[in-house]
Amino acid sequence: QGKFTLLRDTRTDGSFLVHHFLSFYLRAGCKVCFVALVQSFSHYNIVAQKLGVNLTAAKERGQLVFLEGLKSCLDLLFGEEEEQSGQPSPLQFISESASNLKALFDFVRTSLTPAGSDSWKGPVLLVDDLSVLLSLGATPVAVLDFIHYCRVAVCSQLKGNIVVLVHSNEDSEDEENELVVNSLCHHSDLILWVEGLATGFCKDVHGQIKIIRRVSLELTAEQDHVQIYQYKIQDKNVTFFARGLSAAVL
């Protein structure tokens, strides 16, 4: 409860983790607010079906609040003026000069605050992915503020969890992104770091995942626990194995 998990990918695509967490939390009966900035709803839906979860049904019964970033952005830019009555668009910062993600935060908070009749277990905020906000004009400070506000609201007040995906690169020249990623790393309770293999492309091992449990944050003088596994992605699931013990090798 109240945990902040950071999904980080380097030189590869870590979105399979996003799909996993989405179906995991929905199956566990949690109320999920999914800020999906990168892909369309149907993409997530199709993959979730392979993983055994129906997103449309989850939306209908109120368990899933889905913000489809691409669609919201189009509505914001091409929408007629009359449609803007009611709540402001969560992605309002794109058209305004102030780089302020408050509207997005308000959206998250309203979606996850439990209504009287809700019977879901803890709220969960899932973001795919945070690096896109920088591409859309938000400053790194605005993004970090947004995450901070979300942590206060979701983790502390509502005792929920947050899972966020970011991209990073080792010799990246994108300083703003690296700033956000490094800052988030310091504040996360759990980091799942997905990387491509150091030796290059391999058909049977798609990459390695480093699981870092930030025990050091608990001030018990312990170091962070780090575990490293390798993985291979298949059509409907992902297999993890110890380094060097891929099925192709054994």
Sign of CA pseudo-dihedral 131, 31, 60, 47 = positive
Nearer to other proteins, 172 or 227 (CB): 172
Interface stretch with other proteins, choices 43-51, 59-67, 154-162, 211-219 (CB under 8 A): 43-51
Among 28, 46, 141, 248, binds other proteins (CB under 8 A): 46
Q: Does 56 bind other proteins (CB under 8 A)?
A: no
Q: In what order do the strands lie in the sheet with 121-128?
A: 64-68, 30-36, 121-128, 161-168, 4-10, 190-195, 207-213, 225-233, 238-241
Question: Can you tell me which residue has the tokens 């090798």?
Answer: 249
Angle between helix 140-150 and helix 102-112 axes, rounded to 10 deg: 20
Interface stretch with other proteins, choices 106-114, 127-135, 210-218, 220-228 (CB under 8 A): 127-135
Pattern of binders to other proteins over 157-186, x per CB under 8 A? ----------x-xx-xxxxxx---------
For other proteins, the binding residues (CB under 8 A) are: 11-13, 15-16, 19, 39-40, 42-43, 46-47, 50, 69-71, 73-74, 76-78, 94-97, 131-132, 134-137, 167, 169-170, 172-177, 195-203, 206-207, 233-238
